Amino acid sequence: MNEILTEELPDSKVGKDESRLFDKDGNLKAALLLLIPEDIFYIVEDKNMSREMWESIQEYFRPYGQFTINSLRENFWKFSMEKGTDVDIFAEELIKKQVKIASEDISMRPSDSIMKNRLLDHFDSYPSGHYSGAVTVLRNDASVSFNVVVNSLRSNQMNYKRAHPEPVIAFV
C-alpha cells in the first residue's frame, strides 16, 4: 500500500495517466474508509488524498512515536526487582517490556542477547554470590539463548532454595 501512496502524480498536461492515478487514489480512499472504525472517522473526513488519510491514521495509532519508544526502552534498562524474586517472574517482566517495545517498533526490540545479559546482570548482583558461578559460565558462552539462561537460573534457584529453606515458624 505504501508504494501506491508514494507514487508521484504525472504532469497535469498528461490527462490519461493522471485520471488513472486519481481513480487509484479514489479506490484507496474508499478502502481506507471501509477499514477504519466509525469512531475515528473524524480524523480522515477532511482529507482529500489517500496519502493524507493514511498519514492521519498512522499518526492516530502512534501518537507519540519516538518519545514512546525511548520511554519504553528507558523503562526496560532501569527495570529492577528486589533480590529473591523468582527467575520466572523476572524473565516474564522482561519479556513484557520487550513486547511493549516491539509493538511500537519491531526494529527497536531488545535482542535475545540483550535480554540474556539483562537477566544475568540482575542475578549476578545477589549479595550471597550464589548465582555468580552460573552467571559467569552463561555470560561467557555466546551461543546460549535467553530461554536456556532462564532454565539454567531456574534450576540454580531451585537448588539454592533447597539448600536454604525458608523458616516455617516465626518466633515473635
* pLDDT tens by residue, 128-163: 778 888 899 999 998 999 999 999 999 998 988 888
Q: Which residues contact 116 (CB under 8 A, 6 or more apart)?
A: 138, 144, 145, 146, 149
Statement: residue 4 has pLDDT above 60: no
The radius of gyration computed from the CA coordinates of the chain, to the nearest angstrom, equals 26
Range 64-70 average pLDDT: 78
pTM of the model: 0.59
Cell of 18: 493522471
User: 82: buried, middle or exposed (CB in 10 Å: 19+, 13-18, 0-12)?
Assistant: exposed
Statement: residue 111 has pLDDT above 70: yes
Average pLDDT, rounded, for the chain = 81
Q: Is 99:110 a contact under the CB 8 Å cutoff?
A: no
Degrees (nearest 5) of the Cα angle 91, 94, 98? 135
Q: Is 120:149 a contact under the CB 8 Å cutoff?
A: yes
Question: What pLDDT does residue 96 have?
Answer: 94
Count of residues in the chain: 172
Statement: residue 65 has pLDDT above 90: no
Question: What pLDDT does residue 52 have?
Answer: 87
Rounded Cα distance between 73 and 97, Å, is: 8
Rounded to 5, what percent of the chain is helix, strand, coil?
70, 0, 30
